[in-house]
Amino acid sequence: MNEQHIFIVRCGEVALKGMNKPYFERMLAERIRKLLKRKFADFEVKRQEGLIFVRADKSYEKEEIIREISKVFGVASISPAVEAEPALDAIGEAAVAYMKEAIEERGIQTFKVKAKRADKNFPVKSPEIGRIIGAKILIGCKVLRVDVNHPDCLLFVDVRHDKAYIYQDKIAGFGGLPLGTNGKGMSLLSGGIDSPVATWMMAKRGMMIEAIHFHSYPYTSQRAQEKVEELARIVATYCGRFKMHVINLLPIQEQIVQNCPEEETTILVRRFMMRIAEKVAGETGCGMLITGENLGQVASQTAEALVVTDASVKMPVMRPLIALDKVDIMDKAREIGTYETSIQPYEDCCTVFLPKHPVTKPRLERILESESRLDCETLIADAAASRETIDIKPE
């Protein structure tokens, strides 16, 4: 490898994992490696003393590498750094060069040095390292002065047993846990704002993702499905490649409309969606379902409706958005890049055969009575068997 960018990557909750910490660190390093491999050829990812160091050829844009690393769940922060031999003269020389570049690029006038001695065998203690390096910077950069309260540049010096690292920025990542450390879930993915965010949030907790999408063709268009596929690809930039199972719900909706009370249509359709998702989840190794439901947001998401919905399945249902305000969900959708796609005005299967006055406080016994008029097992089995499976790859 030629001249290099160096990045210090810090773990989030991984650092709290006790005896399991090395496992989580290995998973995190591997996730960083896999993600960078999609765009870069010449790089190295290495675990060392609770940190992960990424080295990449200088021909790559530093900002692009940071942007990619920050997408990896489990990353708390990233610092572009320069490297020096672990000796005060070498550290001082590198620090002066770093500050001269900062003066030229940003016109800084004040600074403060904060030193840390990870290698306790290093003969000089942390506060003294800071004072010595600060003095060398004052000599080498005459235009600078020290400001311990509000410096233009807070310079970090991290002395380790084989190298010392100098950096300023700590660029925040998303945190969370590395993918693959918390099982696998089946997400009910629609074209709305909520379900892509819910999927992203569960992936952030380390859960591998598989997805299921319901449509009502020809009442819903091919473009509506393409919208969902586009959303899935955006989510895949964070959680990696996954499968999405696509199912036409129209035969079931037609049976419900023909045989059941109109006001129960929404909750009955929702229960069928959950049972189909549970069946596909069981066949694909998923241990739970994930939905974008939010308490009280629509008729099918009242407390009573959610209880009736959950009664249709045995598999646990994860609802990471359950208590969030809609504004918070929209803000998160903007942050992860799904919002603009979600608001495109294409129809959704949930809007087909929508009752004028949907029941908001359904009673389970009445819903079960309505379902007794349908051949539920056959409808569910046929829907699951007819699914189309799409391989979703990151954008």
**Residues in the annotated binding site for ATP:** 188-189, 213-214, 270, 292, 301
- Cα-only R_g, the chain: 27
Residues 363 and 305: their CA atoms lie apart, in Å, by 8
User: Helix or strand or coil: residue 211?
Assistant: strand
User: Helix or strand or coil: residue 225?
Assistant: helix
Residues 211 and 233: their CA atoms lie apart, in Å, by 12
- The contacts of residue 101 (CB under 8 Å, 6+ apart) are none
Q: Which of 353, 390, 391, 385 lies closest to 248 in space, CA to CA?
A: 385
Binding site residues, as ranges? 188-189, 213-214, 270, 292, 301
Helices assigned H by DSSP within the chain = 21-37, 62-70, 88-106, 126-140, 194-204, 222-239, 250-259, 265-283, 303-310, 326-336, 339-342, 364-371, 376-385
Strand 184-188 to 288-290 pairing: parallel
Handedness of CA 262, 263, 266, 267 (dihedral sign): negative
Strand 110-117 to 153-159 pairing: parallel
Q: Which of 321, 361, 356 lies closest to 192 in space, CA to CA?
A: 321
What is the token pair recorded at 51?
């940190």
Residues 210 and 290: their CA atoms lie apart, in Å, by 10
Residues written for the chain: 395
Residues 182 and 279: their CA atoms lie apart, in Å, by 21
Residues 343 and 363: their CA atoms lie apart, in Å, by 33
Residues 211 and 242: their CA atoms lie apart, in Å, by 8
Residues 87 and 128: their CA atoms lie apart, in Å, by 13
Tokens 């419900």 identify what position? 256
